[in-house]
Chain A
Amino acid sequence: MLRHRGIETTTHALRRASLALAVAVLCAASVDAGPVSGVGADPATLHRALREHTLRSLDGRVTTLDALRGDVVVVNFWASWCTPCRRELTRLDALNTEIARRGGRVVAISVDEDIANARRFATRQRLKMMVVHDGPQGLARTLDLSHLPFTMVLNREGQVAFTTLGASEASVQGLVERTQQLVAAHPAVAEGESR
């Protein structure tokens, strides 16, 4: 009889625990149904940030994304503490080498709080592409990015051509293919020539 009562109490307790978990799930699930593109900011904020936000590279160069118009620019947001970001960066560095001569480039923007962490990783991996340190309160916050890593590709007019979220094999492969298509479809204009 004691065992029967104990089992009843257990069943009751487990039911309550399951109910509590269900409440937590419903609450969390109801919170965020944001855009799939990964940018939470409105289009006006996005375009203004792409024109005006100043980026400082690890080697001290200062630029904006607007200044890189004319190139196909792969803008990748990463962090040294983000494992899939680290793995993706080596692929992007190889992509940068492939497209550099055809008017393309990769800009890797670190959201690390401490620039030393970003610099240590970039040095260790011998990254040749442009690596920028912007911190978590910079462009990532302005654009209200939902994912990390997050990549957007700007066409030669400086407009967002497409975005990818995360770093699965499929998404990285898709990013590489579409970037190469963009670079090939609209070749860079050499100095002194016109289209």
Chain B
Amino acid sequence: MSHGRGLRLWHALMVVCALLGASGCAQVRAYQRERLTDRIMSFKAEAREDARLTKSFEAREGSTGGNGGAGGGCACN
């Protein structure tokens, strides 16, 4: 992956994030959030599984992150 292409991807990702931020202007009231709290939707419900998988990947691959928090160290093979 070339340096310039990597930069362009960063830019695209930031534009997407900004657009998503701008699109979140529709009001969703508290009483309308039942589906968002469902176990199959909640980011929180999957946090433990995501953290465990990320740690496994870090022991097998050269990158890290994607969950919004650092995992602890180990001598994972």
Binding site for B on A (CB under 8 A): 9, 12-13, 16-17, 19-21, 23-25, 27-28, 31-32, 77, 79, 81-82, 111-113, 136, 140-141, 144-148, 150
If the complex has contacts A13-B10, A24-B18, are A81 and B25 also in contact, measured as CB distance less than 8 A?
no
Q: Would you call B25 and A148 a contact (CB within 8 A)?
A: no
Indicate if B40 sits at the interface (CB-CB under 8 A).
no
Tell yes or no: B15 within 8 A of A by CB: yes
Give 20 pairs: A residue, B residue, CB < 8 Å, sorted on A.
Answer: A13-B7, A20-B14, A21-B17, A21-B21, A23-B21, A23-B22, A24-B20, A24-B22, A24-B24, A27-B24, A27-B25, A31-B27, A32-B27, A77-B31, A79-B31, A82-B30, A113-B34, A136-B34, A145-B29, A146-B30
Instruction: Tell whether, in the assembled complex, residue B32 and residue A136 are in contact, meaning their CB atoms are under 8 Å apart.
Output: yes
Q: Which residues on B sit within 8 Å (CB–CB) of A16?
A: 10-11, 14
Q: With the chains together, A23 CA to B38 CA distance in Å?
A: 29
Cβ of B64 under 8 Å from chain A: no
Contacts of B30 in A (CB 8 A): 82, 145-148, 150
Give the residues in chain B near A12, CB-CB below 8 Å: 7
> In the bound complex, what is the Cα–Cα distance between A9 and B5 (angstroms)?
12
- B67 near A: Cβ within 8 Å? no
Q: How far is the CB of B40 from chain A (nearest CB, A)?
A: 12
Please give the number of chain B residues whose Cβ is less than 8 angstroms from any Cβ of chain A in the complex. Answer: 22
* Residue picked from A77, A136, A141, A146, most chain B C-beta under 10 Å: A136
Does B52 interact with chain A (Cβ within 8 Å)?
A: no
Taking CB atoms, residues of chain A closer than 8 Å to B20 are 24
Say yes or no: is B48 at the interface (Cβ < 8 Å to chain A): no
Cα–Cα, bound, A27→B24 (Å): 8
